[in-house]
Structure 1
Amino acid sequence: MTAQPATEPTTPFVSEDDGVLTVTVSTPAGGNSLADDAVIEAAAALREVARGERRIGAILLVSTGANFCAGGNVRAFESAEHRPTYLRGLADDFHDFVNALHEANKPVVAAVKGWAAGAGMSLVLHADIAIGGSSTQMRPAYRGIGLSPDGGLTWTLPRAVGQARARHIILTNQVIGAEQALDWGILSELVADDEVDSAARAAAQKIASGPWAADAATRALLAQSPTTSLAEHLIAEARSISQLSASPEGIEGVDAFVGKRKPDFGAARSN
């Protein structure tokens, strides 16, 4: 479920620093519901990344409130003049953002503090690294208001936890605590509640300082693996590692290892 704009004019929804593109998906102004302005602004920025017009090494999804994202703004749903038209527009905007997130082919880190419900839970499942706190909780939430999921939840969740468990989670509107989410592979790491934002940013910065081409190739291989045979996948891996060995970052990485020094991937990309 997506939400009506929750605009804070003095705070951009998209910013860039040290090779990390940060997207603020929700704010206290909207009750931490998914901000439609953020979705639209981020989709445009991510398409610039995909076209090579914006150079970044990682994407960080954050919020500025107590919760990562509490889902859609249900009050806005209720007050819409024509709900089907309104919801379709919001879903299309949200899905444009999700598609742009995948087309950018950069590692995605999510700072999942507090609640991630509805659209918020959908977003968490699109992260390569999702860092939560001890109080982090998730819930599909859609069924509770008589709606079906959006944001790809019915596609990503079965791949993360299996078909049977995904059906159970969605159809019973299950609340998933932090430890359970970690055990099931929805979250990748747990830290103290007050360290979620800093730990997620540190992870994004660490990724952004590394070899961007290798990360993109690795993400592509991981995405292909569920639908390829082992023989096909081994061929794809051989092709990828061979091509990367001739890239500036690949050359720098190997030479630095042999020279017993830390690789400078940023300088290699600039040459």
Structure 2
Amino acid sequence: MTTEIKALSGIRYHAIDGIGTITLARPEVSNAIDIPTALSLEQSARHAIADPDVRVIVINAEGPRFCAGGDVAAMAAAVDKPAAGRELAERLDAALLALDAAEKPVIAAVRGAVAGAGLGVALACDLVVAATDAKFLAAYTSIGITPDCGVSWLLPRAVGQQRALELVLTRRKLTAEEARSWGLVTAVVDDSDLDAEVGALATQLAALSPFATGQARRLIRSSWDVTRKEATLDEVRTVTEAVSRALG
């Protein structure tokens, strides 16, 4: 059965065969995220998380660019620009925090620009498959603003503090292969193969135990915030339940 959500803004969502797909759908502005899009991203993310038939979440985008970041033009057009910037940052972060808390694997399929908030979306995912033309950049300082969407927290954990500072301060642009060598990307594939490769990966994960994949994700993502002993105790509790579920 295919599930769709109507009345989304800047986002398309559908679920089929255990895979919930969230598509950034503003290609005319390089999928820049405005406030309505951020709200729809959170709505679709929470829907996928709550749906027991969805075992894997995929985030992709229409057009040649994954996401150019926040919609700067929309912020510039607002009467109260600081308030608009704050609301966008808060709304988008709410969507990404929902994804972070999901006990389901999240895969990003990226091509073209992965910039600013787009980098934040990619960092919120567990696996990132990139087309060869993908370019990763922080972009914030280029327009006189600072990181948001959890980038200041997630990026140093993904690549290390010094590399994170290099990306943010120097506006360095990483190729897909460089991003893979830095640990931002899981795999690099030809653009023509991106959708098929991500589909195959999502299908592979959807065939696994949802308890095992969801709890493995939770254990690893939560490990930054607990002690070694706390992590071990959580592992023991979780593997005990996993054995009970798998072996009876």
Distance 1:95 1:79 in 2: 22
Distance 1:57 1:32 in 2: 26
- Match 2:247 to one of 241, 246, 251: 251
- Match 1:222 to one of 194, 204, 220: 220
Residues 22 and 44, structure 2, Cα contact 8 Å, conserved in 1: no
Q: Secondary structure at the match of 2:244?
A: coil
Distance 2:173 2:119 in 1: 11
Q: Secondary structure at the match of 1:132?
A: strand
Tell me which residue corresponds to 2:33. Answer: 34
Give unpaired runs (5+ residues) of structure 1. 1-5, 253-271
RMSD: 2.0
Shift of the 127–29 alpha-carbon distance from structure 1 to 2, 3 Å rule, reads same
Shift of the 172–49 alpha-carbon distance from structure 1 to 2, 3 Å rule, reads same
Give unpaired runs (5+ residues) of structure 2. 1-7
- Match 2:162 to one of 157, 161, 164: 164
Rg: which structure is higher?
A: 1
Give a deviation string over 1:99-131, Cα, whole Å, max 9, x none. 111222211100011110111111111111100
TM-score by length of 1: 0.82
- Match 1:128 to one of 126, 141, 146: 126
Q: Which amino acid aligns with 2:237?
A: R
- Match 1:85 to one of 83, 88, 92: 83
Q: Secondary structure at the match of 1:65?
A: coil
Give runs of aligned pairs for residues 176-195 of structure 1, distance below 5 A. Answer: 176-195=174-193
Shift of the 218–124 alpha-carbon distance from structure 1 to 2, 3 Å rule, reads same
Residues 20 and 48, structure 2, Cα contact 8 Å, conserved in 1: no
Tell me which residue corresponds to 1:22. Answer: 21
Q: Which amino acid aligns with 2:93?
A: H
Q: Secondary structure at the match of 1:94?
A: helix
Matched positions, count: 241
Distance 2:198 2:241 in 1: 31
Give runs of aligned pairs for residues 70-109 of structure 1, distance below 5 A. Answer: 70-109=68-107
How far apart are 1:42 and its partner, in Å? 3.2
Give a deviation string over 1:34-82, Cα, whole Å, max 9, x none. 25444322322433455x4553111100001101111122222222111
Q: Secondary structure at the match of 1:245?
A: helix
Tell me which residue corresponds to 2:142. Answer: 144
Q: Secondary structure at the match of 2:171?
A: coil
Give a deviation string over 1:177-220, Cα, whole Å, max 9, x none. 11110001100101112212221122122212211011111011
**What is the percent sequence identity of the aligned residues?**
31
Q: Is 1:119 aligned to residue 97 of structure 2?
A: no
Shift of the 60–242 alpha-carbon distance from structure 1 to 2, 3 Å rule, reads same
Distance 2:86 2:112 in 1: 28
